[in-house]
């Protein structure tokens, strides 16, 4: 499966969604918009990038940023926004919060949390990448491909892109 074919299948589905993305996974926007049909899938994409913007979006101040809790809260807000913007019953809210390669010293691992809410399932993925092994754009592409795979799963396509990870890297999935 390649990106264009998967995105075509996503755009051909009846599902629509709102996205909230911060810190990484931004290439997903390009993937979804570069293929005709994005207006059938995308209701809204928010990028609450600064801490103030993210706190305002979530209506709270989280103690831990780039966590599964933050991703779940973001996905829930995105799902509620989908409900407000669409009469379609096939809707979802999807979020990604990430800390990826940067030009400054940063505590913690390179990681991402991708969460979703839909009528079919609620869950999140934890992505752990080797710090300083890749360039920022390479990590962003990996996370964006994982987001595409997540959309494929939550809308029932169940076809996936190959994700090239190093042996120490992992993707874990949890349902709630």
Nearest to 21 by CA among 105, 115, 106: 115
Q: For residue range 111-125, what is the model confidence (pLDDT) as tens digits?
A: 999 999 998 899 999
Tokens 């299948």 — which residue? 9
pLDDT value of position 65: 85
Report the SS3 class of residue 161: coil
Q: What is the pLDDT of residue 60?
A: 81
Residue 105's pLDDT is: 74
pLDDT of residue 128: 98
Comparing CA positions, the residue from 84, 150, 156 lying closest to residue 120 is: 156
Largest separation between any pair of C-alpha atoms in the chain: 45
Among residues 174, 172, 157, the alpha carbon closest in space to that of 11 is found at 157
| Number of folded domains that form the chain | 1
Mean pLDDT of the region 11-28: 98
Closest CA to 79 of 155, 20, 13, 147: 20
16 burial via Cβ count (<10 Å: 0-12, 13-18, 19+): buried
Q: What is the pLDDT of residues 40-84, one digit of tens each?
A: 999 999 999 988 899 999 988 777 789 999 999 999 999 999 999
pLDDT at 106 over 90: no
Q: Given this model, what pLDDT does residue 17 score?
A: 98
Q: Calculate Rg over the CA atoms of the chain.
A: 15
How crowded is the C-beta side of 74, counted as CA atoms within 13 Å?
31
pTM for this prediction: 0.95
Residue 107 has pLDDT above 90, yes or no: no
**CATH number, position 101:** 3.90.950.20
Residue 51: its pLDDT value, please?
87
Residue 4's pLDDT band (boundaries 50, 70, 90)?
very high
Expressed as residue numbers, the domain containing 87 is 3-175
């Amino acid at each position: 499966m390649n990106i264009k074919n998967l995105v075509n299948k996503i755009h051909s589905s009846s599902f629509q969604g709102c996205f909230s993305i911060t810190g990484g996974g931004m290439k997903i926007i390009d993937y979804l918009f570069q293929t005709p049909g994005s207006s059938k899938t995308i209701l809204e994409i928010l990028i609450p990038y600064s801490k103030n913007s993210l706190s305002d979006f979530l209506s709270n101040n989280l103690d831990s940023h780039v966590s599964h809790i933050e991703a779940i809260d973001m996905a829930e807000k995105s799902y509620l926004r989908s409900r407000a913007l669409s009469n379609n019953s096939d809707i979802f809210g999807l979020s990604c919060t990430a800390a990826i390669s940067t030009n400054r010293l940063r505590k913690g691992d390179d990681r991402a949390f991708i969460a979703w809410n839909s009528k079919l399932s609620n869950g999140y993925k934890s992505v752990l990448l080797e710090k300083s092994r890749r360039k920022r754009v390479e990590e962003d592409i990996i996370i964006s491909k994982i987001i595409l795979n997540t959309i494929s799963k939550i809308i029932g396509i169940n076809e996936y892109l190959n994700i090239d990870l190093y042996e120490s890297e992992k993707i874990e999935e949890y349902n709630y």
